[in-house]
Homo-oligomer: A and B are copies of this chain.
Amino acid sequence: MARLNIKNINPHVVEAQYAVRGELAVKSEVYRAKIRKGEGKDLPFKEVISANIGNPQQLDQKPITFFRQVLSLLENPKLLEHEDVLINSLGYKTDVIERAKTLLSQVGSVGAYSASAGAPGIKESIAKFLERRDGFPADPSRIYLSGGASSGVNTLLHIICAGQNSGILIPIPQYPLYTAALAVLQAKCVPYYLDESQNWGTSLATIKESYEKAKSEGTDVRAIVVINPGNPTGASLSEADIGSIIDFATQEKLVVIADEVYQTNVFLGTFHSFREVLLKKQKDAPGKYDSLELASLHSISKGMVGECGHRGGYFELIGFDPEVEEQVYKFVSVMLCAPVIGQCLVELMVNPPREGDPSFELYDKEYNGIFNSLKERAFALYNAFKDMEGVKCGEPQGSMYLFPTITLPAKAIEAAKKEGRSPDEFYCLRLLDATGVCLVAGSGFGQKEGTLHFRTTFLAPGTEWVGSIKKFHKEFMDEFR
């Protein structure tokens, strides 16, 4: 045996790509460290703007007070011995104290492992939320707490993919967790393209075409992933579109994996969950949809919660074989349990203060403030892109991202080729070097051949960074025109 080297370690890990934290992100961290140490004087910018990753609290988003007050009591339950101080000197409301007591009675200590799939009381609270959201009851025993949605996706793909012949339908562009996990699992990504001309909606015809092609090549297509609202596109699917995907998946016996982590980040139209549409269909046509297997995921990382550092989330299974669920349970149990404080935050997200509760007014104000500020920034960025030569961007619909098309001059494409990079990577790297703004090139998510994009979050505050993108873009276009 030789020592470990790039040629003899797991080739499937080596294959996997994850641009969101790739070369550009690493370089941006080097710049950030330089600036912190006071060694950034030769750089043409004063700070690094991480617009590459949906990390709200790294930028401007403040945590919601009610959530964090409860968490502070969960971390130090001894504070509950001083209710008067909490209320009179620290401004904690009584519902904060009550909620902390309820959660502590359910988990014991947040320092203890919970049951493998999550604390039972928290799963019950999620079930009630699903019922309120969709109008149909949920079974807590089919809910699995996870360390963010990413770990849930990883679990589901591990169960579903049975080898090199297994294929999963993945939207392109996609969040690259999916292709990275499939690479590690040696399973096939069966890409279906989203329709940029239709605001990045799904086209059933395109899905069918990809599916039939993969089937004809011998791939055992097992599931379809839908990211709704979309990442990186922001697109929010209509009830009809969701219905047609459910019809198709039922007919072809495909598992539906509905990644719904951006369900509250919707600016245009209304969010419909796959669960809601499926259960309506099951009610309207008894028996017809009973065989469909739906896994839907949610997370505390996005939305107005934005608590990604706490790594909390859950997935719910509908229609799965009990023996398969036993394997899901075993798989999650090997990693013991999701972080318990993150589980508690999931409970707070799905069961926030309601009208009349002492904490409601502040909660509501903070929640709406975050929503409106995200929407405002999305449109400010969108308007800036409208003025930029060769940049085309759809109106902001949701999620935390814009994903504009860029058309670059032939000389720039040539220069990129010389460096062995895709043109959009080349562009993003030059942008980072010039402005300190870190984006992700469209090639990191997948895009139709011959098209170029980048993804940017609209989380960063202020307009200075948008101005610096505009200035860079003009200079770049002038240089390579």
List A residues at the B interface (Cβ < 8 Å): 1-6, 8-11, 13-14, 16, 18, 20-22, 29, 33, 53, 55-58, 63, 65, 68-69, 71-79, 82, 85, 89-90, 107-116, 120, 147-148, 150-151, 154, 158-163, 177, 180-181, 184, 220-222, 252-255, 291, 293, 306-311, 320-321, 323-324, 327, 330-331, 333-342
A252 contact from B1, B254, B342, Cβ within 8 A: B1
Query: 7 closest A-B pairs (Cβ-Cβ)?
Result: A309-B340, A72-B76, A21-B333, A71-B75, A57-B109, A57-B112, A58-B112
Compute how far the CA of A29 lies from the CA of B113 in the bound complex, rounded to whole angstroms: 13
Query: Besides A147-B335, A339-B341, 12 other CB < 8 A contacts?
Result: A4-B320, A9-B327, A22-B330, A57-B108, A57-B111, A147-B339, A150-B336, A151-B335, A158-B184, A310-B339, A311-B311, A311-B337
A161 contact from B10, B76, B150, B341, Cβ within 8 A: B10
A153 to chain B, nearest CB (A): 10
Q: What are 25 A-B contacts defined by CB distance under 8 Å?
A: A1-B221, A2-B253, A4-B159, A5-B321, A9-B159, A9-B162, A10-B163, A10-B327, A16-B331, A21-B330, A53-B113, A57-B108, A58-B112, A63-B109, A82-B89, A109-B309, A110-B309, A110-B310, A111-B307, A113-B308, A148-B336, A150-B334, A309-B337, A311-B338, A339-B339
Given contacts A109-B58, A112-B57, A253-B1, contact A13 B154 (CB under 8 A): no
Q: Which residues of B contact A321 (CB under 8 A)?
A: 3-6
Listed residue (A1, A18, A65, A331) with the most chain B CB atoms within 10 angstroms of its CB: A1
Q: Which residues of B contact A73 (CB under 8 A)?
A: 72
A5 contact from B109, B161, B323, Cβ within 8 A: B323
- Cβ A89 vs Cβ B79 within 8 A: no
- Cβ A181 vs Cβ B334 within 8 A: yes
- Cβ B115 vs Cβ A29 within 8 A: yes
A327 contact from B6, B148, B307, B338, Cβ within 8 A: B6
A160 contact from B4, B221, B327, Cβ within 8 A: B4
Listed residue (A10, A220, A221) with the most chain B CB atoms within 10 angstroms of its CB: A10
- Cβ A158 vs Cβ B71 within 8 A: no
- Cβ B111 vs Cβ A334 within 8 A: no
A18 contact from B18, B108, B307, B334, Cβ within 8 A: B334
- Cβ A10 vs Cβ B158 within 8 A: yes
Given contacts A55-B112, A111-B310, A177-B334, contact A5 B340 (CB under 8 A): no
Q: Which residues of B contact A333 (CB under 8 A)?
A: 18, 20-21
Q: Which residues of B contact A159 (CB under 8 A)?
A: 4, 9-10, 13
- A184's closest neighbor in chain B, by CB? B158
- Cβ A55 vs Cβ B113 within 8 A: yes
A3 contact from B6, B253, B341, Cβ within 8 A: B253
Compute how far the CA of A181 lies from the CA of B333 in the bound complex, rounded to whole angstroms: 12
Compute how far the CA of A158 lies from the CA of B69 in the bound complex, rounded to whole angstroms: 39
A123 to chain B, nearest CB (A): 12
- Cβ A308 vs Cβ B111 within 8 A: yes
Compute how far the CA of A21 lies from the CA of B330 in the bound complex, rounded to whole angstroms: 8
A361 to chain B, nearest CB (A): 17
Q: Which residues of B contact A148 (CB under 8 A)?
A: 335-336
Compute how far the CA of A10 lies from the CA of B166 in the bound complex, rounded to whole angstroms: 10
- Cβ B75 vs Cβ A68 within 8 A: yes
- Cβ B58 vs Cβ A113 within 8 A: yes
- Cβ B10 vs Cβ A341 within 8 A: no
A141 to chain B, nearest CB (A): 11
Q: Which residues of B contact A324 (CB under 8 A)?
A: 4-6, 9
- Cβ B330 vs Cβ A18 within 8 A: yes
Listed residue (A14, A33, A254) with the most chain B CB atoms within 10 angstroms of its CB: A14
- Cβ B335 vs Cβ A154 within 8 A: yes
